[in-house]
Structure 1
């Protein structure tokens, strides 16, 4: 059995559901693997059992590369799965279980490579973090604010959501490399009115006011806003597919290709939660809702101005989580990442990629660290990789993990 598959399986068997039991046991397991490799990992705990691991690997240059990933996973109901989500079963060429894709498989690739004892050509800082599946308050945000010294010398970083193969209808394998993320604007919005009896004409019903505002927010068609990275991806895909892609009309674009950019060509606002009242015959004095807002790099102010107009003057908003949209250049390390992939897959086509959601890269951007999405995997053409993120029957191919370890070696190892 490959070491990457074995480590992935063992990490999956440690339940790190967020919210749930915390990451301490997984952190201790990771620290043990690093210690066995002769390294000196540090476990930091932001709250009881909310633990992260930081470890520096000496290389030939003090200009350090950060490799970060998260130990926590989203919940999984065993009744929905063909294989128990915390079994870590290895069968049919796959490692099965919650976190196989997001992102214990990627952590396993990094650990398997480090344990080979190869000296990297630059210092590496490894961060195995808590709480990414929430706000990062107990993970990346904590280590950035309280242990910034552990990241000294780090100018660039790699992490999840990039470097995996996507096979086009022609058979060409595209490898998206993350160079940015949409910003995050999770908010609570509140309408205030006049409480009263439900049988009487309302004086000022906050439930109705909030419902009207949410309808405006949900129905708004955000304009297309192409960043340079997304424009570059669309141009690359147009050449690969032999068609001119119009982002305003994706009807003829293969779904696998469209999935790489359709969520990042505009801002978005999705109402996700509502809370009002305590009795059916009482008009409440307040009504609240939650909105998941995202904005493309460079369009934060337009997003906020439009959002306030849609909500209207009678709705107040309060951010639960607000993170700017980070971006990284499509030069330097970007080309090194692409070269590592094409060394392993000469016919592969690396392309720049902006992520729809978010990662811990947002926290590390506060330290001036440029983040790239690069967790390399060679995937079967028929595997719907995007559906596995937070989905049921999550799994990662064993051969894909081995490809990832070898690609990391191409990227990180000192040339002989």
Structure 2
């Protein structure tokens, strides 16, 4: 059956929208907490098997893959398109979530409760919302016999919350056949709306499409010196050496560097809102703050960052230890890797060693081409007051692994959000939730996009 008929689009959308809330709620009820430890991470296999079952019920042939360790479950399914000569489009989402402390929440974080117009629970926006929307649309395409313009690969993945070592990174290294023929991919942390005021008193919704990610590296610092008694004079103290290096690094402001994605974002916001962003001015972060809470995400993309997160030294109060260690969360702007490391070495000095614990590269693509046009058209079809704009993510996603395979990656998980919702605070936050209306909107947009991709 053709994917271009208006009746088919209407029926398919209605069916997908009718089940997306239940799908997201059920996904949240799987406790897929990723602790970063193979022994204590749980739930991915059970969740992946349930996803596979939903796809199989609709008629898909699925492949279940454990990515390098027992229980690290991933599911793949492919829907043939009208033109097999075109590269396939992959829609990917991760099934794991960060842990949550139930005592801190107003609802149980794994209840999937639907109340007050929201679906509540860990993963509601990171990213079981997109997983549910993808699953709803995938099921409807198969049930209705819809043929998309190109092959679609649906990938539901493990371990994104720990950098993908036992998920996308392992799959890219060990099972590249799963991505055969894939040329483009869409995933998380993009497509959400940002409402900006316009000079004429109206508002415009900008939908932020992720086109870039900063590089990610977790760095261990180590100082070694002479151990001794805590009561003696001791100038050669590993704790002091390390503490001074950590303080220099943690308080350092790296230079402002505007990538193409960030520059295009600022230009679009300026055009719509009338706000001026002067990269040569003394307070561009202050100018960004006028955008509200989203400035936490955007502000972190203007320059490299190095935030100390862990310290470890000593074993007794009256013993000066021989070694002291720290861990630093490092993020660098695309193209800045070598310069970033040079600055770090200058800051920590010659008496402190460093090594990478985890190291994932940066990524950036251009905001143009047929796929970008399809995203914008899908948004406009369901929000005539919308506009897609590129932006850079300060964090990381599974796109880092797929970019290594030559796949062009975007973040596009469409959500139309209430202007008053502090969206950025919900990522890994308490009382994570997603508006029901945003899920329904996103499902319609995702279907339109895939039918014209």
The 5 Å alignment of 1:10-409 reads 10-19=26-35, 20-45=41-66, 46-62=68-84, 63-117=87-141, 118-170=146-198, 171-247=203-279, 248-252=283-287, 253-256=290-293, 258-259=295-296, 261-332=298-369, 333-409=371-447
Equivalents in 2 of 1:257, 1:139: separation in Å? 29
User: What SS class does the counterpart of residue 241 from structure 2 fall into?
Assistant: helix
Contact 2:239-2:324 within 8 A present in 1 as well: yes
Distance 1:283 1:256, change over 3 A: closer
Question: How many Å apart are 1:158 and its aligned residue?
Answer: 0.3
Contact 1:187-1:293 within 8 A present in 2 as well: yes
Equivalents in 2 of 1:246, 1:82: separation in Å? 42
Question: How many Å apart are 1:249 and its aligned residue?
Answer: 2.8
Equivalents in 2 of 1:140, 1:377: separation in Å? 24
Q: Deviations over 1:245-292 (max 9, x none)?
A: 124434352324634521101000000000000001001010000000
Contact 1:260-1:353 within 8 A present in 2 as well: no
Distance 1:209 1:259, change over 3 A: closer
User: What SS class does the counterpart of residue 85 from structure 1 fall into?
Assistant: coil
User: What SS class does the counterpart of residue 261 from structure 1 fall into?
Assistant: helix
Q: Deviations over 1:89-141 (max 9, x none)?
A: 11111111000100001100000001112322111111111111112111101
**TM-score calculated relative to the size of structure 2:** 0.89
User: What SS class does the counterpart of residue 280 from structure 1 fall into?
Assistant: coil
Report how many residues are paired.
415
Equivalents in 2 of 1:175, 1:256: separation in Å? 15
Task: Quote the residue 1:5 is aligned against.
Answer: 21
User: What SS class does the counterpart of residue 409 from structure 2 fall into?
Assistant: strand
Question: How many Å apart are 1:2 and its aligned residue?
Answer: 2.6
User: What SS class does the counterpart of residue 125 from structure 2 fall into?
Assistant: helix
Q: Deviations over 1:50-96 (max 9, x none)?
A: 11111111112331011111100001111111111000011111111
User: What SS class does the counterpart of residue 54 from structure 1 fall into?
Assistant: strand
User: What SS class does the counterpart of residue 126 from structure 2 fall into?
Assistant: helix
Which runs of no fewer than 5 residues in structure 2 stay unpaired?
A: 1-16, 36-40
User: What SS class does the counterpart of residue 390 from structure 2 fall into?
Assistant: strand
Equivalents in 1 of 2:415, 2:408: separation in Å? 22
Equivalents in 2 of 1:399, 1:122: separation in Å? 29
Q: RMSD over aligned Cα, in angstroms?
A: 1.4
Contact 2:374-2:452 within 8 A present in 1 as well: no
